[in-house]
Structure 1
Amino acid sequence: MKFKISIPVQNWCIFVIFLNNILSVLPATLVTYPEDEVWSFIKETPKRNLTKKCADSLGLVESYLTDHSTLEEQRRFFSASFGTGDAIQFVSRDQDRWIFRAMKCIKAAGETSYSASEYPLSYCYGVPSLWDSEEADTAYGICLPSTCADNHKTLLREWQSIASNKSDSKNLEYEGCTKSRHTKQWYEQFIPMADFSFDMVLIFLVGIATVYHVKRGENSKSVPIQLLLAFSAKKNLRKLVEMPKDPQSTIQCMFGLRFLSMVWTLVGHSFIFVQAYLDNVDEYKADLVDNFWNQWITNFTLSVDVFLTLSGTLTAYSWFKKWQKNTTEKEPSWNSYGYWLRFYRHRVVRLWPAYIYTLLTVTTRLSITHYHPMWPPTDPAVQCPSHWWENILFINSLLDNRCMPWTWYIGTEFIFYLVSPIFLLSLRRHPSFGLGLSAIVIIISALFNVGGMLVYNFPPTQFLWKQPEIFNPDYIKHHLLLYIKPQYRIGPYIVGLLLGYYLAGFQAQTQKKQRSIRFIVGGWALASVAGFWSLYGLYPAAQGWDWPIYHLFYGATHRVVFSLALGWLMYACHTGIGGPINRLLTMPVLLPLSQLSYSVYLFHMIPVVFTYLLAPFPIVFETKWLMLGHCFIQLALSYFFGFETTMIAELPALNIERILLNWDCKAASTLKPLPSNADVEMKLKPNENGEATNNKNNLVANL
């Protein structure tokens, strides 16, 4: 019995339109081609436009990969690396899958860290436009013998013609290749070895300074000797581990908060970057995003707001404490240009040495330490030679953030530091005006977030795992246009400034008002609810629920709300109502871990990628404990490199600054001697970094 289905033309048109609309919102995936089609491309590509060496190598690919001595998975990896995908999402939503295919091509060559392959391969890709394309273009990827590196453009265009059935002839403006092995390993190249030698000189200098310090002490009046002792490990280790004698001279709970935020940041980045090495990545993404309690990972970008809040709090607290106690200097005004230039100079001296050292080391050596190159669009060895100056000038977050992209925070926070005097002076001279100005700026920043979400259809924060269909899936565009820009992120920093202002005022009170049990319990309850909502309130957006008003409200306010909850925690701990939480956050072991956090942050992305490169490929997701095990190793390596950076760059630079300032001031003999009571009072005043310093050095450093 036969059935005849008749669909009216009008209904058929409606169905086609409906189907087209459905397909237009379905997430694009990379297309994989049958093995026979890949072999056909290798065999039938015209050889007339290729070099003889490349043509001969193409002819040997199949015999190499089908040889009995070649592993079966190498042949599968080779054919599976060929593909096409959405060009717009090449460096965004689909980036981990492109890297995964590149890894398959590299593994097909059979390279190891100790043995070079007889048939090295290169993964080559071509994209019509990498950064600013809005058209529905296609990206192409192929695996070739490395001897075809000079002919990859020709072969990419041939693959473009075959894969598109000759329907796509657009120029592939952005092209590149990742080799299965460096032409020369890092120890065979001049620049990496020069950087390594420079490291050895610095370590030797630290050793010499330490031995001299142990044998002769540090009481020499000779400036050259003092400069040498600036590198003493004995001196700098003492700075890392000594707790301030005056518990109120700094906000001690910051020690634990800074360390925990560093751990949180590393865990989040680790869980992002593992995606490029996972075989069953869709299963991993579903497990991570669909579990409500996993939002401490998927919403980990709030860790940056912890750093911003801590930075604002410490800046305001140390500044207001200084001028509440100081009686020998004239307070700065709006036109105290010399004072503010020194204010900024100290910040640059605090940031530059470790930053520049890390930039040089990561770019010239660590990025090429592994036997094969990294993914070119995000490889510091590729991007930093052209964009390093953006980082040095702290403007990388205002531009495309190509070099060491995780350091956008440093540029954004430095911009906040540049504008902080506006708030500091306003609060000092006219508190009501300063509070009003702070509130207005926070509200304007929240409205900017709403506008950005509406214009670009962005989610409330970057979605780095699954991208619901109701939002723009381009998280790199979100990153560049909204996530890293100062005008969208200043709210938590201002909350920190206000907290520092209040804590300094509270500390200056001779008789502190007794707080009731109701106030304490109510404060902790409100802060707990605010913190929980700001962390776990992302779930409706992550699940793609159609709650547009909620998504806009959450995106505009959750970072400030989280900062306010954190502010209560710091207030409670610093003013004596923190209880066991304060005791946990102020444990002595957390002090050095906190002091190292800046250098650790600079280096942490290298171990994050490195441990996954060393793991067997591909990684099969079964449990998150595997990733957490990687996180533990990555954290240990990060602290090792962070400790090295702190000892040979960060702390010596701060020591040298104080020595030179003391020298200049002694030569000028313009400082008035402090009375003895002021000397005692200011002995352990913290500098802006929360470090307890000698009173005279601290006074000079702030002049």
Structure 2
Amino acid sequence: MNKVYFIFILSFYLINICLSLELNSGSNNVSLQCTKDINSMMSFANLMDDLQLWAYSGRAPNDLGNIDGCLGLPSNVSHYCIYSTSVPVSPSINTTYIIGLCIPPSCNTTVDISSALTTFLETMSIIAPPGGDPQSICYSEIGQSYKNWTTGAYVVLGVCIFFGVLVLAGTGIEFYQNNISGLLKKDDDQFEGLISGITNNNPISIRQDLYEEINETPLVVKLLLSFSLISNYNSFFGSSSTKRHFDTLDGIRTISTIWVLLGHSLLFANSPGYDNLAYLYLKARSFFSFQAIPSAEFAVDVFFMLSGFLVAHSLLSHLNSEQSKSPFFWFKYVIHRIIRLSPLYYFLIFVDWQLMPLFGTGPLWFQYAEQKNACQEYWWTNLLYINNLHPSIMSKECFSWAWYLANDMQFYLIAPFVLLAFRFRKAFGYLIVAVLLAICFTTNIWLTMKFNIPTFFQFAVPTTTFTTDIYQKPWTRIGPYAVGIAVAFLYTHETTKKVYDKLWFRLTAYSLAFGITFFFTYIPYTSFQGSGWTKVDNALYNGFAHTMFTVGLALFMVATFYGHGGLMSAFLRLKIFNYLSKLTYATYLVHPIVLYTYYYSRTTFLHYSPIEFSWLFAGNILFAFSIAFIIHLTIEKPFIQIERLIFPPKKQNSSPPQKEYQNYSSLLIQKV
């Protein structure tokens, strides 16, 4: 441990020696008043004030000091400054360190602060030398704004208020209808007798009239009812899948989402930073148990595989019908996906871009605001689902974690061609899947070898150009989606069920499933032993890991479709997963906003340790799913209901229900 920190501090000191000459040569740019005030601070000329300046300043990299205490001093005594610079952590990794300083207000430029740090380092009072590409920002008051209100911010706020009004209106209408329904049912026996007398003992005709009246609800009212919290809440907790053999997918989706949260809880915290960053990079990540965290990248591959399977399974069931020959069928195929994904996605893009930077506080919140600058130029690429292709790399993207949605949409548009080939001749379908897998394998391996690209779990920065970006480009991520399509093909064969009914085959499949997924999750441990992995090792891992992990999962997943899988299958079918799986899309979209809001609002850096990270992870799960629940009921679900108004499902029975007439809202929902 001490050796690690010694190397870390020594590297800072060497940087300081190299840069001090540059700072001295540019000393003419340093404020004379700042130099005078720093010297006064060093000599404790004003004892009480200077003691507090030292007390509220950070002492080492990633030490933010005390912003509240510093800004509580008189404005002519101090202001609080954040200084950041890039330094090497190891020969292959650069990182940015940040320090918070409580210094005289005359030191208000980056050059001033760099000079002050050099002075502090000479006496070892603060061990944080200047590095490359230094930046600074200073605050003179607590809660100082980082961004002004713009026209875009007012528009987005107006949209939020508009949705709030729709929710209140829809909920109010349904509440009123339910009250009317309750009055009608107050004395059901007397009501039935009265109706029978009026209609010559034929109550059904009146019920039909009531049903028709409800069915003729104006479209505007139906649209408002789509936003009703009552019906959306009841739908969330009341409905369940009619395809019981696919219920295990609910558990797989939920666990995969939680796994994504696990990985991002660690990774996103690195944007502001850890106070023991050297330990995390040089020690903790080499532990065997730690590998489950960076391996969370496989959770996204699981979603690709599930998406490929469900899209293929659904389309295969329609391709033999007459409607699939109509251009309108394929129009609906595309529009359905756009309506399903876009409303919540677009809403959160603009909320994150325009509103969120306005509401945070803390010494590091300016970084959150700066992070959104990419949206000024590239927001439109998200709307077109091409943000994984333009801009060239993820660090320049708006709403960068939405690279997954861009890939998924592109794969969704490709899938029909594969399925039409399969319908024409099954061999053609399998051949195209094989070609897609070959493209995925070869491009990953070739690019890794040519550009010496490290693996993701090494925490390096592997993507600096469009060509070397192998993490989010469709040709390097289509493998798991192709696996999902292949699983849907196999599911159409009776032979698949027959072989899974054989005990020996199931045991073999379970063993392979566990072995493959465990292998790719924990094999990165070996890269931290001895001399590490070679370029060939990296290429093989980058080439096969993402796809083969989903192959292992699919071996077990298919068994559950036929009622096998034992305790694990029963676990994945738990009712709680049926509920939580409905929140996975909203959770994926909103969880980075939740994480970044917390990380950038902190007044101290996170400290990595297993127990502290576990508590952090648990809190992230709770808050992410809670907020996802709110936006699911108010944004996501209403637009699902609206789509049903635009493209109503086929009526199973045109006759009105005989026993449901009492519940106005249930009839409306059935018709919607």
TM (norm. structure 1) is 0.72
2:424 to 395, 413, 429: 429
Output the amino acid matched with 1:632. Answer: A
Q: Which residue of 1 aligns with 2:646?
A: 660
| Aligned equivalents of 1:522, 1:34: Cα separation in 2 | 57
Matched residues in 2 for 1:447 and 1:27: separation? 39
The AA in structure 1 aligned to 2:446 is G
Deviation at 1:272, TM superposition (A): 2.0
The amino acid of 1:572's aligned partner reads A
Would the alpha carbon gap of residues 577 and 113 (structure 1) be closer, same or farther in structure 2, given more than 3 Å must change?
farther
Report the equivalent of 1:683. none
SS at match of 2:324: coil
Q: What is the DSSP-based 3-state SS (H/G/I as helix, E as strand, rest coil) of the residue aligned with 1:589?
A: helix
Is contact 1:305-1:492 (8 Å) kept?
yes
Counterpart of 1:477 in 2: which secondary structure? coil
Alpha-carbon offset, residue 139 of structure 1: 9.6
Partner residue in 1 for 2:170: 209
2:236 maps to 240
Could you say if the C-alpha distance between residues 173 and 538 of structure 1 is closer, same or farther in structure 2, counting changes exceeding 3 Å? closer
1:272-283 mapped onto 2 (5 Å cutoff): 272-275=267-270, 276-283=272-279
1:330 lines up with 2:323 in the alignment:
yes
Question: What displacement does 1:418 show?
Answer: 1.9
CA change 1:485–1:37 in 2 (3 A) is closer
Does residue 609 of structure 1 match 2:599? Answer: no
Q: Indicate the residue corresponding to 1:597 in structure 2.
A: 584
| CA–CA separation in structure 2 for the residues paired with 1:604 and 1:35 | 39
State yes or no: 1:489 paired with 2:477: yes
Question: 1:501 and 2:489 equivalent?
Answer: yes
1:14 equivalent in structure 2:
none
**Is the CA contact (8 Å cut-off) linking 1:253 and 1:586 kept in structure 2?**
yes
RMSD of Structure 2 on Structure 1 (CA): 4.7
Asked if 1:418 corresponds to 2:413, the answer is: yes
Supply the distance in 2 between the matched residues of 1:675 and 1:551 (Cα, whole angstroms): 55
Q: 1:369 to 1:596 in 2, by over 3 A?
A: same
State the SS of the aligned residue for 2:171: helix
CA pair 636-146 structure 1, distance change in 2 beyond 3 A: farther
* 2: CA distance, partners of 1:613 / 1:377: 6
The answer (yes or no) to whether the contact 1:123–1:142 under 8 Å persists in 2 is yes
Q: 2:379 aligns with which of 372, 384, 388?
A: 388
Question: In the alignment, is residue 68 of structure 1 matched against residue 64 of structure 2?
Answer: no
Q: 1:303-330 deviations in whole A, cap 9, x for unaligned?
A: 1111111111111122223346x5xx33
Q: CA deviation at 1:485?
A: 1.0
| 1:411 Cα deviation from its structure 2 partner | 1.3
Q: How much does 1:618 deviate?
A: 4.0
What secondary structure sits across from 2:483 in the alignment?
helix
1:262 aligns with 2:253: no
2:378 is matched by which residue type in structure 1? H
Equivalent position SS for 1:322: coil
- Deviation per residue, 1:316-356 (Å, 9 max, x gap): 122223346x5xx3334xxx654333312211111111111
Map residues 97-108 of structure 1 onto 2, 5 A cutoff: 100=62, 104=64, 107=66
1:636 positional shift: 1.6
2:561 and 2:631 map into 1 onto residues whose CA distance is 30
1:582 aligns with 2:569: yes
Report the 3-state secondary structure (helix = DSSP H, G, I; strand = E; otherwise coil) of the residue aligned with 2:48.
Answer: coil
| Alignment partners' CA distance in 2, 1:189 and 1:345 | 32
2:181 maps to which residue? none
Q: 1:45 to 1:674 in 2, by over 3 A?
A: closer
Query: Is 1:346 aligned to 2:305, yes or no?
Result: no
Q: 1:213-228 alignment to 2 at 5 Å?
A: 213-216=174-177, 219=215, 221-228=217-224
**Cα 1:160–1:185, aligned 2, differ >3 Å: closer, same or farther?**
closer
Q: 2:197 matched to which residue of 1?
A: none
CA distance in 2, matches of 1:347, 1:353: 11
Q: Structure 1 residue 451: deviation in Å? A: 0.7
Report the counterpart of residue 456 of structure 1 in structure 2: 451
Cα 1:428/1:375, change in 2 over 3 Å: farther
Preserved contact between residue 56 and residue 66 of structure 2 (Cα < 8 Å): no
Alignment match, 1:534: 520
Aligned partner letter, 1:68: M
Q: 1:151 to 1:269 in 2, by over 3 A?
A: same
TM-superposed deviation, 1:412: 1.6
Task: Give runs of aligned pairs for residues 632-651 of structure 1, distance below 5 A.
Answer: 632-651=618-637
Equivalent pair of 1:458/1:478 in contact (CA under 8 Å) = no
Q: Which residue of 2 aligns with 1:17?
A: none
Q: 1:504 to 1:232 in 2, by over 3 A?
A: farther
Contact 1:611/1:634 (<8 A) preserved? no
Residues 1:44 and 1:515: Cα distance change in structure 2 (over 3 Å)? closer
User: Which residue number in structure 1 is paired with residue 552 of structure 2?
Assistant: 565
CA distance in 2, matches of 1:59, 1:27: 31
* Partner residue in 1 for 2:347: 357
Q: Summarize the alignment of residues 302-321 of structure 1 with structure 2, pairs less than 5 Å apart.
A: 302-321=298-317
Work out whether 1:522 is the aligned partner of 2:508: yes
Matches of 2:600 and 2:454, distance apart in 1: 31
1:293 lines up with 2:281 in the alignment: no
Q: Pick one of 120, 126, 137 that aligns with 2:79.
A: 120
Unaligned segments of structure 2, at least 5 residues? 1-6, 87-91, 121-130, 179-213, 658-667
In the TM superposition, residue 121 of structure 1 has moved relative to its aligned partner by 3.9
Give the CA deviation at 1:143.
7.8
2:12 corresponding residue in structure 1: 31
Q: What is the CA-CA distance between 1:32 and the residue it aligns to?
A: 4.8
Whole-angstrom distance in 2 between the partners of 1:241 and 1:425: 37
Alpha-carbon displacement from aligned partner over 1:485-540 (angstroms, at most 9, x marks no partner): 11111000110112133335559x9x967721111111111111111112112223
Q: 1:125 to 1:173 in 2, by over 3 A?
A: same
Q: Is the 8 A contact 1:140 1:160 kept in 2?
A: no
Verify the 8 A CA contact 1:305 1:563 in the aligned structure 2.
yes
The percentage of counterpart residues that share the same residue type is: 20
- Check whether the contact 2:156–2:355 (CA below 8 A) recurs between aligned residues: yes
Give 1:59 deviation, angstroms: 4.9
Report the Cα offset of residue 118 of structure 1.
6.8
Mapped to 2, the partners of 1:237 and 1:481 lie a distance apart of: 42
